[in-house]
């Protein structure tokens, strides 16, 4: 069987707000310099022989994941075109991803080309964020007749936010936790209240030796 591997990058950009406004006439405290989130889609095909992922293909996939440096914030999904689904092969891929502390996403993005027969497509969607046009020190006059903010206003704050956020997609839509457990939120307080104090126990007498005797 001929091994087929594809590695394609698709760039998708999402702007949180327009940056084309007149920076010199911005009289509000909302910066015109807002982060732009860009998603790059990487895909890799592996052969699933008889519905399983052979060791040779596991090695190829492992090498690709190492080269990609998959990390928190990456969305990893599996595209399986087979009729009945390569359950064992998918389980192997999930285990490989789980060992890296990541989960498989159920949302499969659109990729280029069709998945070859008898293959699985592993898709890594990686987001990045940046603030275009920053820094911007183009104010041509120190006279501010419009009582506007500086042309560079918001560049530092939003650039730092874009560089530090773990998952840039959270800038578009905040992270959602459907498994919120109130008991988990109050566990620390419950432990603090119920744990016995360190000085609550009786003091134990310790026998000490006198002088320099042994």
Residue-level pLDDT at 126: 93
Alpha helices in 4-139 (DSSP H): 55-68, 87-98
Neighbouring residues of 97: CB distance < 8 A, sequence distance ≥ 6: 65, 70, 76, 103, 104
Distance in angstroms (rounded) separating the CA atoms of residues 202 and 197: 12
Task: Provide the whole-model pTM.
Answer: 0.63
pLDDT at 150: 84
Is residue 121 classed as helix, strand or coil in its secondary structure?
strand
- Would you state the pLDDT for residue 21? 42
Domains of the chain, first to last: 10-18+32-139+146-189 (3.30.1330)
N-to-C CA span, the chain: 80
Q: What is the pLDDT of residue 3?
A: 42
**Cα(67)–Cα(61) distance, rounded to whole angstroms?**
10
Contact 4, 116 (CB under 8 A): yes
Q: Which of 23, 10, 9, 18 is nearest to 131 (CA)?
A: 18
- Indicate the helix (H) or strand (E) that contains 10: strand 10-15
CB 11 within 8 A of CB 38: yes
pLDDT at 69: 93
Regions of the chain with pLDDT less than 70: 1-24, 139-142, 176-181, 183-185, 199-214
The Cα 125–Cα 120 span in angstroms is: 16
Q: Is residue 81 within 8 Å of 114, Cβ to Cβ?
A: yes
Order the strands of the 10-15 sheet from edge to edge. 10-15, 36-47, 119-130, 75-79
Residue 10: per-residue pLDDT: 44
């Amino acid at each position: 069987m001929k091994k087929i591997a594809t590695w394609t990058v698709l760039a998708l950009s999402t702007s949180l707000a327009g940056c084309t406004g007149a920076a010199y006439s911005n009289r509000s405290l909302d910066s015109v310099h807002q982060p732009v989130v860009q998603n790059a889609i990487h895909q890799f095909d592996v052969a699933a022989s008889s519905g399983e992922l052979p060791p040779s293909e596991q090695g190829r996939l492992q090498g690709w994941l190492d080269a990609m440096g998959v990390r928190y914030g990456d969305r990893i999904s599996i595209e399986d075109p087979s009729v009945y689904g390569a359950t064992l092969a998918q389980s192997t891929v999930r285990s490989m991803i789980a060992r890296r502390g990541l989960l498989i996403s159920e949302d499969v993005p659109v990729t280029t080309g069709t998945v070859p027969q008898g293959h699985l497509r592993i898709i890594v969607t990686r987001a990045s964020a940046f603030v275009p046009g920053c820094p911007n020190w183009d104010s041509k006059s120190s006279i501010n007749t419009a009582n506007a903010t500086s042309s560079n206003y918001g560049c530092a704050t939003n650039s730092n936010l874009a560089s530090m956020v773990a998952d840039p997609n959270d800038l578009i839509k905040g992270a959602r936790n459907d498994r919120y457990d109130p008991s988990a939120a109050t566990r620390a307080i419950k432990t603090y209240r119920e744990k016995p104090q360190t000085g609550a126990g009786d003091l134990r007498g310790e026998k000490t030796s006198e002088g320099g005797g042994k």
